[in-house]
Amino acid sequence: MFLAYNPSVPSVFSGTASTIALIVLLLEFGMLRQALLRGQVRLYAGQSLAVSALAAVVAFGHNVPELYALAVLSLLLKVIAVPLLVVGLLREAPDEIAGSGAVSVANAVLISIAVAAFGFFAVGVLGISSDVLPTVALSLAMAVVLVAFILMILRRDVVSQAIGFFSLENGASLASLVVAAGMPLILEVAFLFDLLVAVVVFGLLARTHHRRAQSLSTETLDRLRG
């Protein structure tokens, strides 16, 4: 008979927090293969929900009441308002965005794994430690940002590129939860409304693009017109 061996096990709190941060990253990877416009928006809503949940978990675990306010606000804005706005602006567009990747999905995932690994270990060696969240969450936030870049580079449709940009902000707010959980609420709120402006601008651009080109693909944009 032997006992379970565990050199260093994260506590239940930090395990849960890292798992939620991981879900944010996994949903980012899901965006690489999503074939439907509404599915892509739904993935973004799910990712924002995970970020809000993480804010609530940190608020609960460390008694930071203002993070509850942030969680509720980001829930209202990023999980409900932004997806409704994007879907509303692109109501006339077809739902199909499959096959817009420059490389196949499996290759895109492999490239993203490599880039995410770079982000992981680049942040890991910095040795930034936080008193509210495990350090691995910061590495995950970095990976989310880098995979969002890959998403915007590899997928050639306006919806994925816009959603990639919005999810970049999700990665940034994940990072801000780790390094500066007590960041003044007013600053966070300013970021959120900044995002809302970006959503309106991107939504209108995508809508205009669809009206002109009759497609969501950006491949028609590299042609010169007289």
- The residues of the shown chain that bind another protein, judged by CB under 8 A, are 1-12, 14-16, 18-19, 22, 25-26, 29, 33, 104-106, 109-110, 113, 116-117, 120-121, 124, 134-137, 139
Minimum CB–partner distance for residue 141 and another protein (Å): 12
Minimum CB–partner distance for residue 175 and another protein (Å): 15
Residue carrying structure tokens 């929900």: 49
Question: How far is residue 210 from each of residues 46, 126, 225, measured CA to CA in Å?
Answer: 25, 44, 17
Q: Which candidate, 33, 26, 61, places its Cα nearest to that of 47? A: 26
Instruction: Decide whether 41 or 57 has the Cβ nearer to another protein.
Output: 57
Minimum CB–partner distance for residue 28 and another protein (Å): 11
Question: How far is residue 144 from each of residues 22, 59, 168, 170, measured CA to CA in Å?
Answer: 9, 22, 7, 8
Dmax over CA atoms of the chain, in Å, equals 81
Question: Residue 190 class from Cβ within 10 Å (0-12 exposed, 13-18 middle, 19+ buried)?
Answer: exposed
Minimum CB–partner distance for residue 157 and another protein (Å): 18
Minimum CB–partner distance for residue 74 and another protein (Å): 22
Minimum CB–partner distance for residue 12 and another protein (Å): 5
Cα distance between residue 145 and residue 56, in whole Å: 21
Residues with Cβ within 8 Å of 170's Cβ and at least 6 positions away in sequence, in order, are: 24, 44, 47, 48, 51, 78, 144
Instruction: Decide whether 38 or 205 has the Cβ nearer to another protein.
Output: 38
Instruction: Decide whether 117 or 190 has the Cβ nearer to another protein.
Output: 117
Instruction: Decide whether 124 or 200 has the Cβ nearer to another protein.
Output: 124
Question: How far is residue 216 from each of residues 5, 14, 73, 101, measured CA to CA in Å?
Answer: 53, 41, 31, 13
Instruction: Decide whether 15 or 88 has the Cβ nearer to another protein.
Output: 15
Instruction: Decide whether 32 or 206 has the Cβ nearer to another protein.
Output: 32
